[in-house]
Amino acid sequence: MNRFISVLLGGLIAGGHVLPAFAEQPLPPKPQLIIILDDIGNNQTLGLRAVNLPAPVTLAFLPFTPFAARLAERANQNGHGIMLHAPMANESGAKLGPGALTPDMDRIHLQQTLSDSLEAIPHVQGVNNHMGSLLTQQPEAMSWVMEVLAEQDLYFVDSLTSPLSVAAENASEAGIPTISRDVFLDNERTEESLNKQFNHALSVAKRRGHAVLIGHPYPETLSYLEQRLPTVELEGVELQRADDYLLRQQWRTPTPELPLVSRYQLLLEPQ
């Protein structure tokens, strides 16, 4: 965690006298917007559009999907963050696909499945949950997840598909860098809704100092981001990868999280 070190200036000698040492004072940080795109790996065309977005984002790859490994390599080359989008059991019983983590697994099986999924994604830096409205409520299972992440020095993003999730709490208790989702971008894919949700995320970032915005590689979402991302910094907000944001936080005094402005979006997110 030593990528961000303050520049300290030592004592200056002038005319045989030593002037007092001082530290260069950094400018106050801009509000940070962390954009995560889930479900990367099944569609090559849309995946390529995602990895070619014109600003730093974090891409969450489904394990063992046809294009995940190649797209992760390309994303790394383009300077994007890379996460495993770990399939976790949901309350509706929807199918999870390869790499699923479910409540019937014992510790050894769950941790081996997670480790295999992590190994399948090149340059992986962290994990977030795909679905997971059931599993993220279970402290024991989530503690097993966090043991694997701690061993591999990875971070965790709680997608908050359930307001009862204990995942972020478990991550913090395990000493794992963690952050939680604030806004879902594309539960509705009209331009009006995308704009409303994106602006809501900017508002949260400006008010609290950061916001996590989660979307998906839908054609409408990608078209919107291709046009909007180049203008974000003109609005006084800095785009940041999840890993870079969490690394920087190691050097800052943490600030209290604001509660979600609205939980109704949880009902719209696929479980």
Tens-digit pLDDT profile for residues 170-187: 999 999 999 999 999 999
According to DSSP, residue 210 is labeled: E
25 versus 231: which is more confidently predicted?
231
User: Would you say the C-alpha torsion 126, 158, 189, 209 has a positive or negative sign?
Assistant: negative
Distances (CA, A) of 235 to 51, 180, 199, 225, 232: 23, 23, 10, 15, 5
Mean pLDDT of 206-214: 97
User: Would you say the C-alpha torsion 240, 242, 243, 248 has a positive or negative sign?
Assistant: positive
> CA-CA distance, 229 to 232, in Å (whole number)?
5
pLDDT of residue 252: 54
- pLDDT tens across 25-59, in order? 455 679 999 999 999 999 999 999 999 999 999 99
pLDDT of residue 170: 96
pLDDT of residue 249: 82
> CA-CA distance, 32 to 240, in Å (whole number)?
6
- pLDDT tens across 58-109, in order? 999 999 999 999 999 999 999 999 999 999 999 998 889 999 999 999 999 9
**Are the C-beta atoms of 197 and 186 separated by less than 8 Å?**
yes
pLDDT of residue 251: 56
- pLDDT tens across 128-139, in order? 999 999 999 999
pLDDT of residue 2: 36
- pLDDT tens across 187-207, in order? 999 999 999 999 999 999 999
245 in helix, strand or coil?
Answer: helix
Return the minimum-mean-pLDDT range out of 12-21, 25-34, 93-102, 239-248. Answer: 12-21
- The contacts of residue 59 (CB under 8 Å, 6+ apart) are 36, 37, 40, 50, 51, 71, 72, 75, 80, 81, 82, 83
